[in-house]
Amino acid sequence: MALRLREIEPDTDFRFVITPTGAELPPMEAHWRKLEGLLGKPLTVVSPGYSLMDLCRKQKMIPNFRARFCTRMLKIIPYLAWLQNQFPAVSYVGLRADEEGRTGMETDDLGLLLQTRFPLREWGWGICEVLGYLDKRGVTVPDRTDCDRCYHQTLHEWWVLWREYPERWASAVEDEERTRHTYRSEQRDTWPASLRELAKAFEERGEPKQRNRDRDTECKACRI
């Protein structure tokens, strides 16, 4: 969305905002640097001034399926606070035309102070158009765009973290042992929930099967 907006409205002084949590993996950091080059200006970093790891220490808990406090505290609240200093403003949200169920941020009561627009929907762009455009611009979205220790990741993504980022893994184990909670859930997950036990299972059982999760990285029609 940002790349296309820049292309069709080169004279508009857009601010391109990201809300990092400090737990993104190196390919995501590299992706942001590449986007800065393509957009021709630095990304505006909006953050509460602490990372996901700091937040877990402060809250004495870790995020999980029942407590998704991380997104609210690290992304939504800081972004809304930043936005208030930009009023009147237009907030462009990158929800696609084929994501009808998603509503984005609730900002209706702000009237003329803040207008929210959904350019991809205005253009009728679904996953197919988005991937086709990215392909033309030579942009590949990293496999992981979320936090290294996100509770929402698949078992296979945990395995990749364990295999490729041992220091990140050790830090997530430390989070669990300090808070006495697990990112994964005994009830929902088949393999061991605790990361320490999960690492042993990876050693014994090897790479888990990669689920064909319905991730938005492939156009179902064109197979881009």
Nearest to 212 by CA among 163, 154, 151: 154
Pick 147 or 198: Cβ nearer ligand SF4: 147
Least distance (Å) from ligand SF4 to the CB of residue 211?
Answer: 18
Task: Please state, in angstroms and rounded to a whole number, the distance separating the CA atoms of residues 173 and 161.
Answer: 12
Beta bridge partners of 24: 147
Contact residues for ligand SF4, defined by CB under 6 A: 21, 52, 63, 68, 70-71, 74, 146-147, 150, 152
Task: Please state, in angstroms and rounded to a whole number, the distance separating the CA atoms of residues 171 and 58.
Answer: 16
Place of tokens 């972004």: 79
8 Å CB contact between 147 and 53: no
Pick 34 or 72: Cβ nearer ligand SF4: 72
Pick 65 or 87: Cβ nearer ligand SF4: 65
Pick 129 or 148: Cβ nearer ligand SF4: 148
Least distance (Å) from ligand SF4 to the CB of residue 18?
Answer: 13
Least distance (Å) from ligand SF4 to the CB of residue 74?
Answer: 6
Least distance (Å) from ligand SF4 to the CB of residue 96?
Answer: 19
Q: Return the beta strands (E) in 98-212 as ranges.
A: 114-117
